[in-house]
Structure 1
Amino acid sequence: MKPSQKAILWGLIGAVVIAPLVAAALSPLLAWRDPIYIASGFAGILALALMVLQPLLASGSLPGVSPAKSRSVHRWVGGLLVLMVVLHVGGLWVTSPPDVVDALLFRSPTPFSAWGVIAMWCIFAAALVAVLRRRLRWRPKTWQKIHSTLALGVVVGGPAHAFLIEGTMEPVTKAILCVAAVVATLKAIRDLRIWSGRAVANPNRQTGRVR
């Protein structure tokens, strides 16, 4: 891949990930929010942005990043994603414990709460499966299927949660970010051949290419 093509791709990825954060920071609704609530909201936005990067790292699709480096960063970003979710939920708990309890028990009247809780548990489960991968001693194909299924739960629940909320996120950049997370995950599943007859560790390693 030519340097100019790499620069364009990185520019597009950066725009998709950063634009929603900038747009939310400029929202007039922030003037009426508590600092903890604001921090919690931005933790959620950052978590959604990381959902775009995670599958690209897993499949080695980021231009100029080696497969080994992609897998290493994928693990660190996964930990950061879990942290952002904890901060997001923790901040909401501080500002309104009853609402968080209702959401966790799936008795909240707002549909976006249920989607958020589903995404949260899928993230925690995916992280746990990753941490216990060696101890579980599953076949690589089995592990990939379970991990990718949980990832699908994350990118369905997370974007649905964000999309249904009318808050500080700007609608257009939010929609693009949500769609990008889903597309990136589906692309990673296809590239890694997780649901085909034989899984590959990384598409770049199979073909000998370095992007």
Structure 2
Amino acid sequence: MKGFTTVVHLAAVFGLLAHGVEASMKDEEAMCIYERLSGEDADFCWGNLEIIYPDLGDASCMYIPRCGQYRERISKEWGSPKVMFPEAEKDENYVLIMMDPDAPSSADPKFQNWRHWLVRDIRGSDLLTGDLKGNILSEYRRPTPPPKTGYHRYQFLLYKQPANQDISLTEEERATYGSWSLKRFTERYELPPPVATTQYRTANFNE
């Protein structure tokens, strides 16, 4: 009977521990904070551009939260997001740019405007559904902020594409992703001001 009592006692202890772990996980999920950007960061977000990742949803104008392993998943697991622009004109073409102005860090952005994604010939009808089928000039590169560099901004800019411009990257631009001149690129192809811009912030997932 003594051995049986010990087994029952241990089972009860393990049951309580398991319940505690489950409760802790639920508490962590319940405490997941989706913090919105503010100040100048929030001012950059305008035009209702939506950047949608699996499980996370629309990341526009927010900090990627720690919970749900979202920072790790956005850096290692998820591919390119759905991009929706409800005000797109379905028969127009658009250019989408994603870049990091804080490379390698906001304190020392010597590689600023690191190019993460560049797509031209995006049909407005695709922006209404979020499934882009344009001509990719730079493949999507996941956000991977280096350790100990704090938060990085990942900015998305959507332009209406001029009908008479054959947009491409120069050989020099194709050779590197960092220190990219957005101003030179937009002026070269006479891109008008963007119709919508947004951004999110995330940090290295180990921090």
TM-score by structure 1 length? 0.28
Higher relative contact order (CA 8 A, sep 6+): 1
Q: From the two aligned structures, give the one with the greater strand fraction.
A: 2
Larger radius of gyration: 2
